[in-house]
Amino acid sequence: MTVPTKEFSFGMPWEELYGYSQAMRVGETVYVSGQLSHDQKGAFVGADDFGLQVTTTLANLDLVLEHFGASRRQIVETTVLVRNLRENFDTTARLHAAYFGEHRPTSTVMGVSDLALPDQLVEIGAVVRLDVEA
């Protein structure tokens, strides 16, 4: 049995450079690569503003969901990578909880020493199940 796949990319230069997709649908599961804080022209947003980086990153996650016709309620797992986790944990927790409202996906949050871009403070990946009630 073959499972259909579908890739999605924003068309950002780093997608080609690194050789990856922003998301890949495999059957009824969408695997979302770590999203970061950038606008749709590829400019980084929120240097030195952790809260803005988180909200912009989650807005980019919303764009991926929209492409697949999915909702936040269909996210079953997030992975959150944070620089300076001790300093940024409370903001991370508050904005993650606000983004999901009453929905409670599984989540792993990890402190990291560095991320792909010099000013990047957060990266958020997700797993989405399209067969879960939205």
User: CATH code at 35?
Assistant: 3.30.1330.40
Residue 98 covered by a domain: yes
Residue 28 covered by a domain: yes
Residue 51 covered by a domain: yes
Give residue 26's identity as a one-letter amino acid code. V
Instruction: Assess contact for 76 and 121: CB atoms under 8 A.
Output: no
Q: What is the pLDDT of residue 130?
A: 98
Residue 99 covered by a domain: yes
Q: List per-block mean pLDDT (blocks of 10 residues) for the chain, which spans 134 residues.
A: 92 91 97 97 96 98 98 98 98 98 98 97 98 92
The CA distances from residue 112 to 99, 102, 122, 123, in Å, are 22, 28, 9, 10
Residue 134 covered by a domain: no
**CB-based burial of residue 113 (10 Å sphere; 0-12 exposed, 13-18 middle, 19+ buried)?**
exposed
Domain count, the chain: 1
Domain that holds residue 96: 5-129
